[in-house]
Amino acid sequence: MRNYIFRFAPAVILMLAFASGCATTIRGLKHDPSFTFDSVKTSGLYVGGVVSATAELAPGEITTFSSILRSGFLDERKDIYVHDPAAFTSAVGIDRRAAMLSEYKNAGVVSTRWLDEIRSKIPAARYVVFARIEDDNVTKERRKEDVYSDKEKDKDKRKLIGQKIKTEATRRMSVSLAIYDITAGVFVWGGSVEKSRNDSRQYETRLDDNTAILLDTINRVLNEEDKIYPYPPYPAQRDVLLSVFMGFAENLPKQKK
């Protein structure tokens, strides 16, 4: 019985699925001329909350995702202040916030009556931002590449000595975002952004002799591929959301030079 040597490259490769240095595109961007750098710089932004159109988020998840929205905006745009989401919840009330976000989750818009209530509870506020997860998809893939001995110059005479196996787990999220001017009771800026994150693992197999045995055939018969070449965990929602919110923030109005 032949022995096989399996090697796992321990490093887990984390890759954002967008090229660094490339500006994020906001699909369906709408921008009211009244929403300027100077106006948002003066008043700052309040975070109304983050919801999901595909799942029911627990109150703790809403709080966490709202904090990630704030962090993404502040990391990308240090020239625009974003209030702690707790300030909004404290002023509006947790039950009223829950009712507001439930309506926003289902309708995708914040109605005038809610904007009026926010204005009455936070009279110093002008802009409030809401976000809605539209899609959250996970996929996994395993790719293999045969490895041959390079001792023979003739390619037809090369011996199969092993394989390189790469397993990947990907999360892709699409999020819509809306900023409202509550003093005017209107939507002033927003659209949707899609980002993905990919985690991967690299494995190598080596035959202990030069017999050309197809490892993938053996693995299929044994039905143990998932044990031998396991997939990495799916990237966390919070990691993808952070890149999404930074993408929105980089497109906010900038100071004119």
Structure confidence at residue 118 (pLDDT): 97
For the stretch 156-212, pLDDT in tens is 667 777 888 899 999 999 999 999 999 999 999 999 999 999 999 998 877 764 444
For the stretch 123-158, pLDDT in tens is 999 999 999 999 999 999 998 888 887 766 666 667
Which tokens sit at 95? 């039950």
For the stretch 97-124, pLDDT in tens is 999 999 999 999 999 999 999 999 999 9
Question: Which ranges of 28-147 does DSSP label H, i.e. alpha helix?
Answer: 37-43, 59-76, 85-92, 94-107, 112-121
Which tokens sit at 198? 């990919």
22 — pLDDT class (breaks 50, 70, 90): low
| Whether residue 68 has pLDDT greater than 70 | yes
Burial 220-229 (b: 16+ CB within 10 A, else e): eeeeebeeeb
Structure confidence at residue 156 (pLDDT): 67
Structure confidence at residue 35 (pLDDT): 97
7 — pLDDT class (breaks 50, 70, 90): very low
28-37, 89-98, 167-176, 213-222: the lowest-pLDDT one: 213-222
| Distance, CA of 227 to CA of 168 (rounded, Å) | 15
N-term to C-term CA, the chain: 74
DSSP SS3 for 243: helix
